Amino acid sequence: MVASYLQEAVIAIFVHAGDLPAELVLKGDLAVDTEAMGLNNHRDRLCVVQISDGGGDAHLVQFAKGEYKAPNLLKLLGDESRVKIFHFARFDLAIIEHYLGLRLKNIFCTKLAAKLCRTFTERNGYKDLCKELIGVEISKQQQSSDWGAAVLSEDQKNYAAADVLHLHRLRDALEVLLKREDRRELAQHCFDFLPIRAKLDLEGWPEIDVFAHGS
């Protein structure tokens, strides 16, 4: 385990090789994100899963190529009593199922929620939501970096941590907007469908709307 710190926010970032420590205790709902070699789940391998319980720390599980046995991480993510908070959950759910063999349940997706309640704008990316809803400026500079490197740089660790450290606050802000617009129930139905949407991606329908009338 390697720890580093975001000094400006006094936030600890822990990097774990292959799995979370058995003694680690994370409470309540979990913010989750992934980093991969690219955006093709079959071609581009899973490199990092990052998690935060909203308490100020971020835990990054770094996977070596072909080594995806992570029982402690799987036990935590498989706890259906916890909400798993993502931004664009569709991608993360698919790559987690493909490489770790786990289909997650009890999901909240901030991107999907934002699209349902922020119809006045198309600016619903993570960076935009952080700035507009919770007043946090984040950098996406490391988005296209080499996540398969044996040792993550400090910039990569900070980037990965930032992708989970604000999700609880974003979820809370979006819950208010969804309820205000009477779309919370609709959002929940969409969240419940996300594991199936991810499975469709894995099975070969990533760009096809199977519900559309056309062929």
The string of pLDDT tens digits covering residues 15-61 is: 999 999 999 999 999 999 999 999 998 899 999 999 999 999 999 99
* Confidence band, pLDDT 50/70/90 cuts, at residue 11: confident
Domain count of the chain?
Answer: 1
Residue 5 pLDDT > 70 = no
Residue range 139-160: average pLDDT?
Answer: 87
Q: What DSSP element (H or E) covers 85? A: strand 84-86
| Nearest Cα residue to 84 out of 56, 61, 108 | 108
Q: CATH no. for residue 83? A: 3.30.420.10
Residues 132 and 108: beta-carbon distance below 8 Å: no
Residues 120-147 as b or e (16 or more Cβ within 10 Å = b): eeeebebbebbeebeebebeeebeeeeb
Is residue 211 in some structural domain? no
Is residue 126 in some structural domain? yes
Residue 203 pLDDT > 80 = yes
Is residue 146 in some structural domain? yes
Is residue 208 in some structural domain? no
Residue 7 pLDDT > 70 = no
